[in-house]
Chains A and B, each alone.
Chain A
Amino acid sequence: MKRRDSLKYIAAGALATGTLAIGCKTDEKKSDTTAAVPDKKTGLHRYEDEKKYEEEVEKMPDFFNAHEMATITVLTDIIIPKDEVSGSASDAKVPDFIHFTVKDQPKLQTPLRGGLRWLDMQCLKKYEKAFKDCTPQQQIEIVDLIAYPERAKGKPELAQGVAFFTQMRNLTVTGFYTSEIGVKDIGYAGNKPNQWNGVPDDVLKQYGLAYTEKELKECVSFS
């Protein structure tokens, strides 16, 4: 938060103490089995068993091999490419997110590995190349077969591909829109100290809505 804004809120009495706790280093508690220690990697406070779980996940061997990660990178960038507003999935490190996610949620491993191989098999049969080695045009031809569930209805040979692509799309959008690039793209404007003064006037007008006299009188107002 900008220092200017933080001072404004301290003056307004918003904060309980005179100093902001954000970014302060915390003292590591004397070792006791359930003391919270900040996880050095993420900075989030974790108790011993949570920390152990995070470490176990980190220590797991990488699930995807190089070929699979390369395929995932191509796929996620097709799902979320760079456009006028924001960067691509790989700009937002979505492949890393997926790489972590399959360790954090092992039940995703088989469906994704199987789906990636399914995809490669389709391409090998059609173009004699794995998905990531096909031309962009060929890649889009294959994606078009499985990206639209309605279109693929009545084609049972594509059903697994549709399920896989839907799963990849879900993971890609979630990884993208929870990244810094994605949060900016989607226009989420919160997660900061502010003063809620109600729906902006132009928006009220747009929807033909208004606050009642009672609301205007009794609700918190910031002029």
Chain B
Amino acid sequence: MKELQIKKQGKKYDVVIVGSGAGGGMAAYTLSKAGLSVCLLEAGSMYDPQKEIFQLKSPWESKRRGRATKYRPFGDFDACYGGWEIEGEPYTRENGTEWEWFRARMLGGRTNHWGRISLRFGPRDFKGYSHDGIGADWPISYDDIKPYYDKVDQLIGIFGSVENLPNEPDGIFLPPPKPRLHELFIKKGAQKANVPVIPSRLSILTKKLNDDRGSCFFCAQCGRNCSMAKADFSSSNVLIYPALKTGKLEVIANAMAREVLTNSEGIATGVSYVNKEDMLEYQVEGRVVILAASACETARLLLNSKSQRHPNGLANNSNVVGKYLQDSTGAAMGGYIPELFGRKRYNEDGVGGMHVYSPWWGDDKKLDFPRGYHIEYWGGFGQPAYGFGMGIESFNGKYPVNGKQKEAGGYGKSLKEDQRYFYGATVGMAGRGEAIAFEHNRCEIDPNVVDKYGIPVLKFNVKLSDHEVKQAKHMKETFKEIMHNMGAVITWGDDGPENNYGIDKPGYIIHEAGTARMGDDAKTSALNKWSQAHDCKNLFCVDGSQFTSQANKNITWTILALSMRASEYIIDEMKKQNL
């Protein structure tokens, strides 16, 4: 290695962005399209979905038949490279606490394999504290963000149905796909339990939206990135590569941001980063700095950006950075529908995800927990992958196969007959709900540990509260009722209080939010209503960190809308010479 020094880029950009996921991608797109010069730092690779293709591969094209690896925990055909443990990039947890932290390390981040579930926050979701005295209100309302949700719907595309539900605002929808067979059973079973089932709202183009992208051809492999049609949203396909065509965007991949640089006035001047290819130190200058490295990484950057003017970390006079960390609650149950045994085969792939879902229906005045959750569903003829057919001994003795009572287990022609008989009858459901944002749930800098770049790492300290556990209890009670109404048999997930109703570990749902929350009061929030740091006017955070609360809705669509809104504000402020 050449003599180590800090190399400064000659050029000063209008904007430097850290992170290329939903928030970073939207900012890069919006700003470069408006003619600003943008430098985007991405910690991972210069992923190209048009060259790195997993779509339409057959199970046998992987020796492990799609089983997960450390680098691709969602399966080795999954598009997202990164994982729960990244070599040389550790994190720690406070003793006695649990937190699972997933990180992507590629252009487009987790949007390369996300669930595509795109739910607008409703009016009540921005005013949780006003509603039930818990948590804090956002400094904005639904009316402030609605025009941006509309623009995102039209720019990126989403299918769904107009339902006029009070807290589930309708979007500008493409048509949804018809429910699958198991989803029709779910509809019947849920309706008997007074649980609503409506078409899902996924960011998949069921109809052509524009000439830049194709339309869905129903292979259900969005998680492999839709290299071929760009029919599902990934920041890589839909925002970054189109933005590169403007000539105003430069992407520096394999760039691990170290800290945000500030001057003696406390104004951000740029970002210092490690180039992972040559392991040398670089700095890039910008008039404005936008952090979108994902909620926890953004908090980490802020906390690691200490200076005389920002002794507590950048944008942290309020001392809230890293705090109010939330992840969606999660609990699931599954089994099979005996009525679907031995059923006719046909191509049931559909889109990559559920065609129906259940928005939150409860009245929290009548329940013992605040806020709520939505239900996601799955089942049917899934593509065979590692794990297929395992565990048949737990049910092939319980049900006659083609009229013949069998013994659990077995082998031979009889086993082949059993596998054919039971295939396509599985069903499952999971709740995804709002966890309350508590100040004590946090990530902070571990004083003892650095990563391989010498950047201090995060230490997590998160505990589930009673609210979340009671929500999981309600999920399990509801799922049991739906399963029973469908005539389904439960084979897993019927948990009780001894394991908190099977609630997933915090972080496991990968919807982190809250670590640089927005608010009107600079004493209790890091950002103002424009995603702009109170303490540093040319610094913005446009990923999940800005969320004051989470809602029972996956946060990506709101990240996209807020990032577009913040970017337009930046353009406006620059025109006015305020930035």
Contact = CB atoms under 8 A, between A and B. Distances in A.
Interface in B164-199: 175-181, 184-185, 188, 199
B218 A195 contact: yes
Given A16-B213, A190-B219, A81 B56 contact: no
B66 interface: yes
B64 interface: yes
A76 to B, nearest CB: 10
B57 A170 contact: no
Interface string B31-68: 00000000000001111101111101111111111110
A194 B388 CA distance: 24
A150 B178 contact: no
Interface stretch (B282-290, B294-302, B338-346, B495-503): B338-346
Interface string A55-98: 00000000000000000000000111101011000000000010
A194 B347 contact: yes
B449 interface: no
B276 A178 contact: no
A49 B231 CA distance: 30
A33 B420 CA distance: 46
Interface stretch (A36-44, A113-121, A124-132): A36-44
B61 A207 contact: no
A178 B71 contact: no
B408 A187 contact: no
B218 A196 contact: yes
Interface in A179-223: 179-180, 182-183, 185-200, 202-203, 206-207, 209, 211, 214-215, 218-221
B385 to A, nearest CB: 6
Nearest to A50: B71
B81 interface: yes
B57 A44 contact: yes
Nearest to B188: A209
A121 to B, nearest CB: 20
Contacts of A190: 219-220, 347-349, 381, 383
B392 interface: yes
Interface string B118-135: 000000000000000000
B7 interface: no
Given A149-B393, A189-B346, A220 B388 contact: no
A35 interface: yes
Interface in B382-410: 383-393, 397, 407-410
B413 A186 contact: no
A14 to B, nearest CB: 5
Contacts of A17: 50
Interface in B243-269: 253-254
Contacts of A86: 416
B230 A178 contact: no
A54 B177 CA distance: 39
B346 A203 contact: yes
A170 B349 contact: no
B345 A15 contact: no
A194 B218 contact: yes
A174 B386 contact: yes
Contacts of A179: 59-60
Given A22-B53, A34-B276, A185-B416, A49 B71 contact: yes
A189 B70 CA distance: 30
B65 A178 contact: yes
B215 interface: yes
B197 to A, nearest CB: 11
Given A32-B254, A189-B348, A16 B199 contact: no
Given A150-B397, A196-B349, A196-B350, A78 B411 contact: yes
B97 interface: no
B229 interface: yes
Given A173-B419, A180-B58, A191-B56, A218 B161 contact: yes
A16 B254 contact: no
A67 B279 CA distance: 50
Contacts of A178: 59-60, 65-66, 384-386, 388
B491 interface: no
B77 interface: yes
A147 interface: yes
Interface of A: 1, 9, 12-17, 20-22, 26-27, 32-36, 42-45, 47, 49-50, 53, 78-81, 83, 85-86, 97, 100-101, 104, 143, 147-151, 165-166, 169-170, 173-180, 182-183, 185-200, 202-203, 206-207, 209, 211, 214-215, 218-221
16 contacts: A21-B228, A32-B254, A33-B276, A44-B76, A50-B81, A79-B415, A80-B416, A97-B65, A148-B407, A170-B391, A173-B390, A176-B389, A187-B423, A191-B58, A203-B343, A211-B178
Given A47-B71, A177-B389, A199-B181, 19 more contacts: A21-B53, A33-B277, A35-B46, A44-B54, A53-B70, A83-B416, A104-B64, A147-B411, A166-B393, A170-B389, A173-B389, A176-B389, A187-B420, A191-B219, A199-B178, A207-B184, A209-B181, A209-B188, A221-B178
Closest 4 CB pairs between A and B?
A198-B178, A173-B389, A193-B217, A187-B345
